[in-house]
């Protein structure tokens, strides 16, 4: 049996509490608060306390889906991203906007604003924490 606590950042909001994922034989089995972190100081809200549950939840989406005749069908990443690119290509910069998420990491949010400004050629990018 191999057990370790892996330090990471809670994914649920922009507060950025730190927590330990309890890993048993390469499977995440629980969450512990991190006493040393200056924000969370050994505490987690209810979302942080259950931050591991979505990882193995039965309803978690792991593959892309495309709606065909009103029904979702499993698709390849190439097909799903190709459809997104095709749909985005139908609109100009003044018709497009992007909304990012506090549940994503800083790096993901940086990429979203970069994609929006460089590829979609619009500054209409925002973040759910401001809504
Ligand atoms: S533990 Fe709660 S307050 Fe802290 S980052 Fe997670 S969701 Fe936000």
> Computed from CA positions of residues 70, 76, 81, 86, in that sequence, does the dihedral angle turn out positive or negative?
negative
Domain that residue 127 falls in: 92-131
pLDDT of res. 105: 77
pTM of the model: 0.70
- Tally of domains in the chain: 3
Round to whole Å and give the CA distance between 65 and 79: 9
Top mutation candidate among 20, 34, 40 for ligand 1, by most atoms within 8 Å of CB: 40
Residue 55 located in a structural domain: no
Do 96 and 120 reside in the same domain of the chain?
Answer: yes
What tens digit of pLDDT does each residue of 40-90 get?
A: 999 999 999 998 998 889 999 999 999 999 999 999 999 999 999 999 999
**The pLDDT of residue 37 is above 80:** yes
- For residue 119, which of 93, 99, 94, 100 has the smallest C-alpha distance? 93
Do 97 and 81 reside in the same domain of the chain?
Answer: no
Residue 34 located in a structural domain: yes
Atom of ligand 1 nearest to the CA of 13: 8
Pocket of ligand 1 (CB under 6 A): 10, 12-13, 15-17, 40, 44-45, 47-48
**The pLDDT of residue 121 is above 70:** yes
């Amino acid at each position: 049996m191999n057990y370790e606590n892996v330090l990471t950042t809670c994914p649920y909001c922009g507060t950025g509490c730190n927590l330990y994922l309890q890993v048993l034989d390469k499977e995440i089995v629980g969450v512990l608060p991190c006493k040393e972190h200056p924000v969370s100081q050994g505490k987690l809200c209810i979302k942080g306390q259950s931050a591991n549950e979505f990882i193995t939840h039965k309803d978690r989406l792991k593959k892309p889906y495309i709606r065909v005749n009103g029904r979702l069908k499993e698709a390849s990443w190439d097909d799903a991203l190709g459809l997104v690119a095709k749909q985005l290509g139908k609109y100009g910069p003044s018709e497009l906007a992007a909304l990012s998420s506090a549940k994503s990491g800083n790096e993901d949010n940086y990429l979203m604003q970069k994609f929006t400004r460089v590829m979609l050629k619009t500054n209409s990018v925002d973040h759910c924490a401001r809504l």
